[in-house]
Amino acid sequence: LARHLDGLGTTIFAEMSALARTTGAINLGQGFPDTDGPAEVIEAAVAAMRDGANQYPPGDGIPDLRLAVAEHRQRFHRQTFDPDGEVLITTGATEAIAAALLALLEPGDEVIALEPFYDSYAACIAMAGARRVGVTLRPPHFRPDLDELRAAVTDRTRVIMLNTPHNPTGTVLTRAELEAIAAVAIEHDLIVVTDEVYEHLVYTGEHIPISTLPGMRERTVTISSAGKTFSFTGWKVGWVCAPRELIAAVRTTKQFLTYTSGAPFQPAIAHALRLPDTYFDGLREDLRHKRDLLGGGLRAAGLTVYEPQGTYFTTTDITPLGYADGLDFCRKLPELRGVVAIPEVVFFDNVEVGRPLVRFAFCKRVEVLEEAAKRLAG
């Protein structure tokens, strides 16, 4: 392995999902739902396959999906993107993140990212030969320290990488926080790459895309995907919305990563994006209920629980159970309690803050969460 990729090894999600399979433990590690998304969306994919959507679609994505993404932005955020040139379909948000960072960064550039960071950010920044500079979200509230953010800017800073709602802490950035971040980006002429895959999963507060703030549309690459919004994480359909020049840059790298993305899934996700508001509201309320259910179980088991404002995940501190190291705890938990979770320390450079934090996913059936709670209570 090339030296600049040192430490990337195996993702924690692969390690912990494998542990769940070999031990038969309940997998509250990797964030994927254990029920499928809407049947009509599956039918739309099957119909597309039967109708011959089985060869390479256009590299930018099929026109109707680009149109559906633009309509969805308009419906939920009152924001206009031209489906021809300001929307790019990708193979999940994962590819969008890689394509954006590889397109925008030069070796030696610096990326300021909220940490804990989703693991692919660190990997893609490393692949680009750039350097990550973390701004640590600390318990109990996991808010960004805006002075720390301002102090992190150097003359090599090129990109601010955001994620709101934030995996793993569940932080949803407020308008005031986003305004402060936007002011830094504008002052230093930085590009913001923002990962908003949990945009519809907000239980407290409101999701505000930073691209809707004054002066930000022209310098923001917004990334989202269908996985979490429609419970089809295995379909890997994502997208980028950005001004034309930034889309052109991201397209350049995307062409050589995958060239194009899953043909029959594209018309199906176009259909999904046009589901009525009741669908999006229902998903959120279902997950809010599950957040509360799991949170109760985790508290009853003696963990310190940091209630998330959004996402699929609850962050806990294991210290009250007499453990100090989340990685060690998560490797033992399947044996001890028959449950798999994710140690957050792997998402931190500031390992002191991350060490006792463990993430549990609540995007599971109620009976699974109840069983997990029972096992955790011992």
Contacts to ligand PMP by CB under 6 A: 31, 92-94, 118, 163, 167, 195, 197, 225, 227-228, 233, 236, 238
- In which element (H, E) is residue 111 found? strand 110-115
C-beta separation of 17 from 27 below 8 A = yes
How far apart, in Å, are the Cα atoms of 42 and each of 51, 110, 231, 285, 287? 14, 41, 11, 22, 21
Residues 29-58 that bind ligand GLN (CB under 6 A): 30-31
Q: With respect to ligand GLN, which residue has the nearer C-beta, 28 or 48?
A: 28
In whole angstroms, what is the distance from residue 285 CA to residue 291 CA? 10
**DSSP SS3 for 137:** coil
Please report whether residue 316 would count as binding ligand GLN according to CB under 6 A.
no
CB of 336 to ligand PMP, least distance (A): 26
Q: What is the identity of the amino acid at 209?
A: P
The yes or no reply on residue 76 touching ligand GLN (CB under 6 A) is no
With binding defined as CB under 6 A, does residue 311 bind ligand GLN? no
| Least spacing, CB of residue 27 vs ligand GLN, in Å | 10
Residue nearest to ligand PMP (CB): 92
DSSP, collapsed to helix, strand or coil, labels residue 125 as: helix
Q: Which does 30 bind (CB under 5 to 8 A by kind): ligand GLN, ligand PMP, none?
A: ligand GLN
CA distance 354 to 4: 23
Q: Tell me whether residue 81 or residue 118 sits nearer to ligand GLN (CB atom).
A: 118
Q: Which does 11 bind (CB under 5 to 8 A by kind): ligand PMP, ligand GLN, none?
A: ligand GLN
In whole angstroms, the minimum distance from the beta carbon of 230 to ligand PMP comes to 11
Strands 131-136 and 110-115: parallel
CA dist., res. 225 & res. 94, Å (int)? 9
Q: Cβ of 210: how many Cβ atoms within 10 Å?
A: 24
* Widest distance between CA atoms in the chain: 58
Site membership for ligand GLN, residue 212 (CB under 6 A): no
**Least separation, in Å, of the C-beta of 249 and ligand GLN?**
24
Using CB distances below 5 to 8 A depending on partner kind, what does residue 76 bind out of ligand PMP, ligand GLN, none?
Answer: none
Residues 1-30 close enough to bind ligand GLN by CB under 6 A: 11, 13, 30
Contact call for residue 167 and ligand GLN (CB under 6 A) = yes
**Residue among 182 and 269 whose Cβ is closer to ligand GLN:** 269
Residue 101 Cβ, how far from ligand PMP at the closest point, in Å? 12
Q: DSSP code of 202?
A: B
Structure token pair of residue 220? 């923001």
d(CA 14, CA 12): 6
Chain residues in the site for ligand GLN (CB under 6 A): 11, 13, 30-31, 167
